[in-house]
Each structure stands twice: as C-alpha cells, then as structure tokens.
Structure 1
Amino acid sequence: MASMNDLPEPLVPSDVDLRGFTGFMLDVERLLASELVALGTPEECWFALMLWCRAWQQQPPASLPNDERVLAAFSRAGAKWKKVRDIVLRGFVLCSDGRLYHKVLAEEALTAWEKRKKYQERSAKANAKRWADHGDKESYKDAKDSPTRMQEGVQQGDQKDSKTPPVEVEVEGTGKPNSVPNGTDADASNPGMSAKERIFHVVVPWMVDHGVTDKNARSLMAGAAKELGDDGAWQLGQELIREAPLQPASWLAAALNARMPAGKGKGKQSRHSGFDKIDYREGVNSDGSF
C-alpha cells in the first residue's frame, strides 16, 4: 500500500477560498464522453453528481474527506455505497493530505480562483486610485507596493460617486466596528449621513467584499429601498452585516420578501418583480460562467 509521501500533492492549494461561488460550469460534452456516463447507471451518475456538489463546497474546494461513511452520506447512496463506490468515485484521486480530489472540479476551482484574484486586484487598484484622487498620495504609493494595503480595497466595487476619503465604519447598535471592509467611503455613525447614503456606501461595499457582484448588490439594495423605504433598507442592511451569511444575496432576497406587506406580489415566484433579473449565485456571471 502506498504511503502518503507517495501520493500526489493536493490538486487545489489549501488557501483557495471560493466562498460565494455557489456553482461550477458543467462541460456537457466532456461529461457525456466520460467513463462515468458510459459505464454508470442513471442512479450512479446521480450519486456522483451529489459528490461533485459536496466537493465544490468543501475546503479546499473540489475535495472530499476520505471516509466511507461520509461519502455514503454525501452521495445519498447510503447502504448501496459499497456496491457503487468504484463508479461514483471515478475522477477522484487520493492526495497526500488524505483527501480525495476530483480532477475536473479541481481545474474549475483553480480557474475560478484566478478570476477572483484578478477581480480583487482590479478592485484594489481602483480603490487605490480613488485614495489618490482624494489627495492621499502616500496611501496610493503604499497601496501599489503593499499586498496588505491592496487587500483593504478588495471587492468594494466601482464606487464612482464617492466623495469622501475612506474610513472605518461602525454598525449601529453593535458598539464596535463590524466586518465592513476598510475603504468604504462612509462613516455609519455619522448623524449627518442619510439612510440612502449608508446603504450605498456601507452595505453595498460590504456585499461586494463578501462575493456579490457590484451590479447585484446595488440592484438588491435599490429594490429593498423601493419596497421598505430608505430607513427600512438600511436596517435590513445592518442585519445582513451582523448575520454575515455565506450567501448574502440569497439571504437578502429572502429577508426582503419576508418583510414585504402581505399580499404584495401574490402569486409570483418573487414578490419583487425586479429580483428575477438578479443572479443570486455570487461570483457567477449571468451566463453561468465564472
């Protein structure tokens, strides 16, 4: 039996973080040409799909624990696991960290990670430029040269209407700074700031920092303001930040629908007619790609 030292290195590095990427691209041609589809029954293919979905949500992504009981549960195969495991686990390889990695999913994970890093870098550079535009030339120089400083501006979106230098914010009612990213162009404790300004200078950048696209974040909060008013939307945004769910867009959409007046939008899948145009799968484009 091969030792751990003889096994390949993990196919996805441990620092890859795809939280917010709630889906992966399915290459139909590659799937139909696979041994899984050629040799497996429809039920076995379903068990395999369940494992792929579970693997995508694991850390590192595209991996699974090498535990027969867990695999039986994750695949939904249950008592059938021993009979179907060889077919269902096609594409997975055991690596030196003791976890099983799916080769195709690992490729998708690495591609998604590279795109997320590029997006973060673009966002950080944009924020650094805004710092410079506000007259903070030294901050701009530091941001260009320091990865730590660059990360302060990661995923805050393209806030073109920013008018004040970036400051740390505090969510009302908490008594301490919340996990709002550094570089948001607002101070939530400033009594002179309107609820609308707080929504788009605090809540939207926080959502972008947590994997929601800038377009989706703005659309959701605009919808919240339309249905609940600016004050109600700001209160909802504060609750979102306090809860810090893994899927902010989905959480916000569900919370907003729960707060809307009874009977409004009755009979529709979503009570707010504009929500059907929003992609709740944070980090995924509307065409399903990363």
Structure 2
Amino acid sequence: MMTEFSPPLVPADCDLRDFPFMPVDITRLFGSGFHASSNDSEWRAGVTLWMKSYHQVPAASLPDDDAALTMLADLGRDQKTWKKLKAKALHGWIKCSDGRLYHKVVAEKALEAWIEKLAQRKVSSAGNAKRWGNEADTADIEAAIDHAVDLLRALNPNSRQLQKRTRKGQPTGSKINPAQLPLEVPQHGNGNANGTPVVIPAGSQETETETETENISPTPRRADPNWRGGAKIWNQTTMNALHDRLVREGNIGTAPVANDFNGLPPIIGLIDAGFDIDLDILPAIRKAMEDPDNRPKQWKFFVGWIETARRNRLSANKRGAATIAAEPPQETFRQKRERVWSQQLAAARKLGSWSDHWGAPPGSPSCDIPPEFIAAWEAANPTSGAAA
C-alpha cells in the first residue's frame, strides 16, 4: 500500500536566499514540546536545520537524505551522531509529495516573507513600466501571490501577513506609495550619511503597529528641492529591494560589491538625507564602475562619487543648465586609497583587530596597504599600540 504525501507547504520557486534574516517566534519556540523534551545536542541540531532550511529552495524544506541532513546540521560526515539525534531534531518535519521534508512553522514564516518579496516585485514592475511608458503585466506575480496566500491561510489563518493584505496581495494601510517605490526606496529615520539605520526585519516579533511606528523617519533634511522622498518604512523587503536595484541598475553585475549585503547603511543614510536615487546615486555608481581595475568593493566607497554627483547636479540646476553626469571626486584615486587606508588603520588600532572586510591585514604578503605607507602613518600617529 502506497503512502500518500501532502503537497509541498510552499511554492516550488520560493527562494529566500537573499533574505539574511529569519524571524523566530520566541514565545512559540520556548513553549513548544520540542524545546521541552530535547537535549542540548538535539535542540542545536533541530534549530540549525530550521535556519538552514530557510535558504533551501524551496524555502522551509530539507532533503530527505541522511548524508545531506548530517551536513546541514553542522555535523560534517558524522552520520552516527546524526542518527542518534535525528528523531528529535526532525520534530515537526513532514515528508511531502515532492520528496522533501517541510516544517509547518518554518513554512509559515517563509510564506510571509515570500509574499512580501512578490508584492515588492509587483510594485517594482509597475513602477518601472510607468517610468518607461509601458504596460505592466503583473498577472503572473498576482497569481503567485494568491497561491502563496492560500498556502499561508491553510497553515495559519490568523497570520498577520494575511490580516494586512487585500485579495490581490497588497498591504492594506501601508505607508508605501506603489507609484513612488521604484523611484524612492523607503527610508529609515535613524540613518545618516555615515551612520547605520535601525532595521526591524520583516516578520519580527514586534506588533505590526509598533514595527510601522518605529520605522517611520522624522522629517528629513530637504536639501534637494527636487527630492521626491518622504517618511517611509525600512524593513527587510525594502532593504533587499534597494540592494537588488543598485546591483541591477548600477551596472554592478558580479563585481565583489554585489556581495556586500550588510554594507548598505552609508547609501541608506544618503537617501535619508535627501539624495535622489535616479539623479544622484545610480549615475554615480555607474560612473564609478566604468574602470574595471579600480571598482569599489564596498558600498561605502561610492559615497564620495555620489556626493560629487549631487553637488554637480545642484550646481547645474542653479545655473539653469541640464543635469550633468556624475564625475569622480576631486581627490585622485591614490589620495582616495590613502584616505581609506588611514581610516582602516585608525579603526584597527581603536578596535584592536583587523576586519576581514578590509582584505589581508598589515604584515601579510597580500596586504593592499604598502609597508611604507603603514610606517609613515604610524610615525604620524604615534601610540603605544600597534596599527593592527
């Protein structure tokens, strides 16, 4: 007699690998039977599998294979240990008709994030079509949203994601203007040109009201009279949308900066300060990416280019001239590199360690900073501590 399996709990194309955050319902976790009955090793393996499943495709699923599960549970090739932990570590997982394992709670969180991602995709598609004077065909996206909503309703009809959506999958009472979103990515008021915005990931355990209230920026500085910004919301979806748009429209391609997922705060700060994405930020990024040998590797290194582009644009506007193209900062490339090196050495001295994001540390044969520059910097900045 053949066993009939349930259909998969999420769509086959549910892909959240670009979502760095996975929401965890703390009350639900610590009130669960899994938490109460598992030992330390079983608990660690189980929670690790939840996290790893979020970046599987489909999200919230796992392969039904002991070798693969052993690796995903961070046990290497120790299948003997895995088999001891397996029963409890896979608590709540069910096998579905596609041959993969699914967890209902993880699937619920994945569907909430997937609906937000699809809604953002729909809004972006409509905005881009409007910008270029085309008709937006979002029927496929709307169908995908409806499918995801149906799956989520089957898992948890009281999901907050369902409560704030219309039948078409758009948030109700949202502070996001669909017509403006592709032009001005939502902002967070705690950002500044050199600071880090406070981000509350989508699906966090804050209430919906609290999340929206705390993510609304105060009145930004209106330094640019043509700025189309306003008080917007920063969340996981809009941060991902910003990253995707900068990569796609900034001619980033597969350059290393495309992997700098956590380095957006300087760009977000500029947006919050009134910099225009279309007129200031994207043109400057494209200009900076033209030289294949000297492309910035982190988002923060675009700041000088963007600031110069904006100064040029505002200056041209004052003269009544057309907006001019972004130009490199007035400092030479060597001067810029030396400024960055000085900042890294100063930060390393203050922190007492060298960040992996800066490349090889001083003293390493592959270090980008010339030894003579390090010596000159240390001579100019004497202290009892080492530079790195």
Which residue type is aligned with residue 267 of structure 2?
R
Structure 1 residue 119 displacement after superposition: 1.3
**Change over 3 Å in CA distance of 1:41–1:120 after alignment to 2:** same
Q: Is the 8 A contact 2:96 2:102 kept in 1?
A: yes
Query: What residue in structure 1 maps to residue 28 of structure 2?
Result: 30
> Aligned residue for 1:265?
347
Q: Could you tell me which residue of structure 2 aligns to residue 234 of structure 1? A: 288
Q: Which has the higher helix share?
A: 1
Q: Which amino acid aligns with 1:158?
A: E
Write the deviation string for residues 92-120 of structure 1: whole angstroms up to 9, x where unpaired. 11011111111111111111010111112
Identify the structure with bigger relative contact order (alpha carbons < 8 Å, sequence gap 6+).
1
| Conservation of the 8 A alpha-carbon contact between 1:62 and 1:101 | yes
Contact 2:266 2:300 in 1 (8 A): no
Name the residue aligned to 1:252.
Answer: 298
- How many residue pairs were aligned? 203
Provide the residue aligned with 1:89 in structure 2: 90
**Are residues 53 and 254 of structure 1, via their aligned partners in 2, closer, same or farther at CA, if it must alter by over 3 Å?**
farther
Question: Which residue of the partner structure matches residue 267 of structure 2?
Answer: 218
Shift of 1:254: 10
> Aligned ranges for residues 158-237 of structure 1 at < 5 Å?
158=184, 181=248, 184=249, 202=251, 216=265, 218-219=267-268, 234-235=288-289
Largest Rg, 1 or 2? 2
* Equivalent residue number for residue 53 of structure 1: 51
Structure 2 CA distance for aligned equivalents of residues 231 and 109 of structure 1: 32
- Report the CA distance between 1:126 and its aligned residue: 2.4
Q: 1:146 to 1:100 in 2, by over 3 A?
A: closer
Shift of 1:24: 1.0
Query: Which residue of the other structure, out of 46, 65, 68, is the alignment partner of 2:66?
Result: 68
Cα distance in 2 between the residues matched to 1:26 and 1:98: 26
**Change beyond 3 A, Cα 1:269–1:117:** farther
TM-score by length of 2: 0.42
Give the distance between the partners of 1:62 and 1:161, measured in 2 at CA: 40
Please provide the CA RMSD for this pair. 4.7
1:63 and 1:102 in contact (8 A); partners too: yes
In the alignment, the residues of structure 2 paired with residue 127 and residue 48 of structure 1 have an alpha-carbon distance, to the nearest angstrom, of: 42
SS at match of 2:20: coil
Partner of 1:121: 122
| TM-aligned CA distance change 1:210 to 1:116, over 3 Å | farther
Q: How far is the alpha carbon of 1:27 from its aligned partner?
A: 0.3
Q: 1:70 to 1:212 in 2, by over 3 A?
A: closer
1:71-108 CA-to-partner distances (Å, cap 9, x unmatched) read 12221343321122111001111011111111111111
Task: Write out per-residue CA displacement over residues 56-84 of structure 1, whole angstroms, 9 at most, x where no aligned residue.
Answer: 11111111110112212221343321122
TM-score, normalised with respect to structure 1: 0.55
Local SS of the residue matching 1:265: helix
Which amino acid letter does the alignment assign opposite residue 219 of structure 1? I
> Aligned partners of 1:87 and 1:110: how far apart in 2?
25
SS in 2 for 1:101: strand
C-alpha contact (below 8 Å) 2:11/2:58 kept by paired residues: yes
Deviates further, 11-20 or 28-37? 11-20
Contact 2:16–2:114 under 8 Å retained in 1: yes
Structure 2: distance between partners of 1:33 and 1:56: 21
Aligned position for 2:332: none
Matched to 1:74, the amino acid is L
Query: Whole-Å Cα distance in 1 between the matches of residues 293 and 9 of structure 2?
Result: 38
Deviations 1:146-173 (A, max 9, x none): 769xxxx9x85527879xxxxxxxxxxx
Look up the match of 2:38: 40
| 2:347 alignment partner AA | G
Query: Conserved in 1, the CA contact under 8 Å of 2:10 and 2:107?
Result: yes
Distance 1:102 1:147, change over 3 A: closer
Determine the C-alpha separation between the residues in 2 that align with 1:219 and 1:58. 29
Residue 143 of structure 1 deviates from its aligned partner by 2.1
